[in-house]
Structure 1
Amino acid sequence: MDLALEGTIDISREIAYRDRAIVVLLAGAGVRGAELFRDPRDDDRNGVTWGDIDLENHSLEVFGKSRQYERVGLPSAAQDALQRYRRIADPPIDDWPIFPTNHAPSKYAAYRDAVEEDPDADVAIDDALRSAQVPPPALTKAGGRSVMKRLTKEASINLENGEYLKPHGARRALGAELYEKGHSELAQSALRHKSIETTHESYSDIQAKDVADGIDEVRE
C-alpha cells in the first residue's frame, strides 16, 4: 500500500487500501481465502460483505470450512485496515462486497439480472450499480490469488520455485507465531480448529524443535 501511495506502483488509492485489508485479514486474523472471496463453484461462498463486520465486537462473520457461519476475531490492525478502506470504498449498502470484482462483464451481468435492462450507455457501470444499489459480485478465489501474486512481486519477495505468498501461508504464519510463543490455545481459537489436537498436529514441527531444544538445555 505504501508503494501505491508514494506513486512507486501504478494502482489506485482504493486498490491500495483494499490490498492492505486483504493481507491483514489473512495474516493478522487467520481468515481463509475461501472465506473472504467468492467461489464460482460453490453457491454458498459469495464473499464477505460490509454487513458481515461487527466492529463493536471486533469480529467478522464468515462461511467457514465447517460450512457453518463462524465469527472471526479482528485484532486492532485488522479493524484499522477495514475502517480506512471503508472510508475510501464508501459502500452504499451493507450487502456490498468488501472485495468486489474488477471484472466488468460480471458487473454488467449483475446489473442486468437485478434491473432487467442494460445500464445507460453514458453511465459507468460502477456508478450504475451504486445508483441502483445493486452489489457487484465479489472478487473470486482466483482473483485473490492474483492479488497475492502481484503483491509478492511488488514487494520483491523471492520464494523457492517461483512461488508466491499464498492466502493459506499467511494464515499458517499467524498460527506458527502464536504457537512458537507458547500460546497454543490462542492459536487454536484464532485458526478455529475444532480441537487443540488439530493445532498440535498442524505445528508438530515446532513442537518437535521445542522438545529438542529443551533436551539440549537440560544436558548443558
Structure 2
Amino acid sequence: MATKGRQGMAKSSEDHCHGLRCMDAGDLDPLVTEFTRHLTVLGHKSLTVSGYDAAARHLAQWLTLAKIAVADIDDGVADRFARHRCRCPGIRRERSVSAKYVRRVRRFIEFLGERGIVQRKPKPALPTPHRRVVEFQDCVTELTIDRHGRMVMRLLPALGIRPRSWNAQLIRDVIIAETKRVSLAYVKTMTMALRGYLRFLSARGLCRAGLDQAVPIIPQWRLSSLPRYIRSSDVETLIATCDQTTATGVRDRAILLLLARLGLRAGDILSLRLTDVDWQQATLSVRGKGRRETRLPLPQDAGDALLAYLDQARPHVADVRIFFMSNAPIRPLTGSSAVSDVVRSAIRKAGIPVPSNGANLLRHSAATAMLRGGATLDTVGAVLRHRSPDMTAHYAKVDVTMLLQIAQPWPGDA
C-alpha cells in the first residue's frame, strides 16, 4: 500500500491530488489564517469559518500539486479545481467537489484579490451616460438621481442624441411605445423624468422651448383606492411575535415599533444614524423625501426597544448606522426589501390576514389609528411628513363614522 501511495504521488496532476497528511496550505498558510480571521470578524460562526478554512487549504495544496502559481489564479483555475477528482485521505472522501465547497474556494480567491495577491476580474462596464444626462442628474435631488437618469437613458436610443431635432410627435410616439412594454405606473414616473430633462435642456438652449408640454399625461387616479391597513390589535400581535431572547428578535421588535408608532418608511429605517436619537429630549430625527429633516417624538415603548437593541443586539462596529443584518457577514441593512422582510416574517408568525405585506402596511395602520383616535388630518400629516394635504385626506376614507355624518341622502330615499 505504501508503494502504491508513493507511485500515486509521483503521478499527481491537476486531475488527481494525493497526500498522506492533512491539507497543507504551504506558502499560502499565513493568508489562509488571515482569511479565517477576517471571516470571524465579519460575524461568521466557528463551524462556518472552519469550512472556509478547509476549502482554502485544499485549494492551496491543489495549486502546489498542479504546479500553478498563485499569481496565475483566475476563474479558469477555479473551474479546473472544481472539476478535479479529489483523493485526499483523511480530509475528503468524495472524488467530486460540491458546489458549496467551490463557492467557499471562490470566496477565498476573492479575498486574495481584495488583498492584491491575485488579479481581480474587472467588473463589466456599465453604459456611460450621455454628458447631458450627467449634467441633468446634477440638478436632481439625491434620492431620484439614479432612477431618473436610468429612465432618460432608456429613452435616448429612440429619441436620438440630438435634442435640437426632437419634436412633439417624436416625444409622444416614444412614450406611447413605452406603455406597451412596461406598466403604466412605471411610464408615469418615466414621463416625470423626461419632462424634467426637457426643461433642463430648454433652459440651456439645447432643445425647442415647451417640449416638456408634449410629453403625454398617463392617466392614473391617485388615492382612488382605500388605504391598506390592519387593526391596532393586529399590529400588537405582529410586535408580540418577536423573540426577545434572540438578537434578531430584539432588532425586529425595535423596527416594528418604529414603523407602527411613528409611521416611518422603510427608507427611514435604513438611513437612521446613532446621532439621530436624542435620548435627553426623547426625539428622533428623520430625513425623508426631499432631504427634509423632521424631529419626531420617540414613544416610550419604541425608545425602550431601540435602546435594548443598541445595548444587547447591535454589532460592535464603528459604523454609525443603527440597524444591521442579523446574519454574517456583518453589514448594515440595505434595500427597503430588508425592512419589508421583517414585517413579512412577523405576519407569517402571527398568521393573521393582511391586505399587503410590506413596511407600508404599518405606516398606513399608524395613520388610520391616529385618525380614528381623534387626531386631526393636520396632525397625522405632520407625523407622516406629507407634503400635500391630499395625501393625508386619503386616510379619511377609512373613518366610516365620520363619512356617514357628511354623506348626503340618496335622491328618492325616505
Shorter-chain TM-score tier: 0.5 to 0.7
How far did residue 86 of structure 1 move? Answer: 1.6
Helix, strand or coil: the match of 1:96?
A: coil
Deviations 1:173-198 (A, max 9, x none): 11111112321132122112235454
Equivalent-residue separation in structure 2 for 1:61 and 1:34 (angstroms)? 13
2:333 corresponds to 1:138: yes
Who is 2:353 aligned against? 158
Structure 1 gaps, min length 5: 7-11, 38-46, 108-125, 127-135
Equivalent-residue separation in structure 1 for 2:307 and 2:379 (angstroms)? 25
Who is 2:384 aligned against? 191
Deviations 1:127-176 (A, max 9, x none): xxxxxxxxx3334311112221111101112335xx42x21111111111
Who is 2:169 aligned against? none
Structure 2 gaps, min length 5: 1-238, 409-414
How far did residue 72 of structure 1 move? Answer: 2.7
TM-score by length of 2: 0.37
Q: Is the 8 A contact 2:314 2:324 kept in 1?
A: no
2:251 corresponds to 1:18: yes
Q: Is the 8 A contact 1:24 1:78 kept in 2?
A: yes
2:361 corresponds to 1:169: yes
Deviations 1:11-65 (A, max 9, x none): x61111111001100011111111112xxxxxxxxx2122221122222222202
Helix, strand or coil: the match of 1:56?
A: coil
Q: Which residue identity is paired with 1:192?
A: R
2:278 corresponds to 1:74: no
Equivalent-residue separation in structure 1 for 2:389 and 2:277 (angstroms)? 27
TM-score by length of 1: 0.65
Q: Which residue identity is paired with 2:344?
A: K
Equivalent-residue separation in structure 2 for 1:65 and 1:87 (angstroms)? 30
Q: Highest CA radius of gyration, 1 or 2?
A: 2
Q: Is the 8 A contact 2:247 2:312 kept in 1?
A: yes
Q: Which residue identity is paired with 1:71?
A: R
After TM superposition, list the pairs within 5 Å mapping 1:42-57 onto structure 2.
Answer: 47-57=271-281
From 26, 33, 44, the equivalent of 2:266 is 33
Q: Is the 8 A contact 2:266 2:360 kept in 1?
A: yes
From 352, 370, 392, the equivalent of 1:178 is 370
Helix, strand or coil: the match of 1:57?
A: coil
Q: Which has the higher contact order (CA 8 A, sep 6+)?
A: 1
Q: Is the 8 A contact 1:102 1:139 kept in 2?
A: no
Equivalent-residue separation in structure 2 for 1:199 and 1:210 (angstroms)? 15
Q: Is the 8 A contact 2:242 2:346 kept in 1?
A: no
Equivalent-residue separation in structure 1 for 2:310 and 2:258 (angstroms)? 14
**Corresponding residue pairs, total:** 169
Helix, strand or coil: the match of 2:294?
A: strand
Q: Is the 8 A contact 2:243 2:250 kept in 1?
A: no
Q: Which residue identity is paired with 2:382?
A: S
Q: Which sits farther off after the overlay, 182-191 or 17-26? A: 182-191
Equivalent-residue separation in structure 2 for 1:49 and 1:66 (angstroms)? 18
Q: Which residue identity is paired with 1:52?
A: D
Q: Is the 8 A contact 1:51 1:94 kept in 2?
A: no
